[in-house]
Structure 1
């Protein structure tokens, strides 16, 4: 699969001097559509965005290829290493979406299966099938290689690379393919995806610049739990104890470490300093709060009403428009008070 050429926005940025997540934030705030490429020796990461949102990614080494959430996290981690190269290319929204879906595609038709079809017949067939995915083309007679991206049967982008390595993309390339296909029978391979699904950021990640309401919710939730627990305990050391617990579990949840972690809370504000996987963040926070609640004498905890706590936490979530995709109040409260009420 050849990548669409796009409009070059940034080239040869060195990771030693470029903050990857700051660049990503700038692109998000400008509703950027396109892709970022991160390269090291033996490594390539591609992050696809549509209108400022991460929709897909691939992370490739000599041994392993990842897609989706795991690829995003690998790219973010790799971007902190020195001497990598970052490039950014802008695409129309529908082309960015098609590229993201193409990363989810798998082999549909091999070169052998497509050998009896002309290129025009192949294109007509894919249009009639409303295919989403891509077609790889290999031309003989030193005509190079090509890729056509499809979105529900519509060819939204075509890319050609000559034997010299020059890459061109656009509608004129698609027409050129048809022209060449009348004279030369290319080798055709078809890749499709039956149920394409972009990554949904609020279900997958905690992104500081995208999810300010979620951070405000966490600040008020911790203040609420501070009041709730302090009322049942003679010792007013909620924040101190919370930090000690976060430190004790930071081997498994390093983002919670009070000194070196990326999650900070000081009663007044709750901050997250980098993108985190939402599921792991919730696991770490629920474990920390569960251990914190365990420090309260059980006879005092029995005075509390789990249903009332669930209702009040639900009210806080509703205040900040927190969807169940981000956090389910009832489930989360049960995790915090598991084995206690």
Structure 2
């Protein structure tokens, strides 16, 4: 699978000077989300991190270039610790974008090497829609350079990312029509994959025929936002505690929760609906997505005066903190917009 490129954290670190196991431990403690690409002469692969945990992996190695996935791949890659002839690169990716990739790691080929010389992309998408395929299409130039990946659920195009010549991959569901048009004009080659072990349409209909107790729609909205705000809070916490001392951010944030609990009940520590500890959000309420986002953003906003009182003479600290919060919000702006959350943060500090 063609993996997306995230924001570069470190690139081409030599394992002659980098302890792989120590690096993994550090990323876990930092609540890192993204990928570690590992390459040795006979082995290469990728570890996928979500909020400080290895959530998946893919690896190839040996004379037959055997493909491994999941826990087996992770163990194989971590087993390379101590070898000196490899390279390691680290890329940051938001958890919700990482999830798109890991969901599709277990796959099987359906069509390989389809060319626009003989295949119309619109016609291919129409067929996959009729087949209700859940998987993805890798798009490559005619000289085999990766262009992007288009994801399908039940045959419908749901997300995509492109790979520019430099910089991080560009995600965007709204760009799918433009991407299809560009690919059609320029010419390309397609490889189509289906998620392995997917449920057939008939099996799905049988499951749907059984009454289920579904969680309230409002709770589902909030749960979709948890990975986003978990990443935002852990980034800000790491910055604040790194500049001061451990626990400084959490103290100010929890104080703000009490202040805002009258307006946002789920924030009340005694309600048992919300908690943030060690970089992890736990939520068991029924608050709507918009109120969930507003509540946490208001807590962040009202945490600033508390932190300012802690360090009244350090004006630079507050300026840098505001810049860090703005950067984190902008980083997730696109994903929040798709989920229906207002992404105009211009008045956040007013």
Give the TM-score range, shorter chain: 0.3 to 0.5
- TM-score when normalising by structure 1: 0.48
Larger radius of gyration: 1
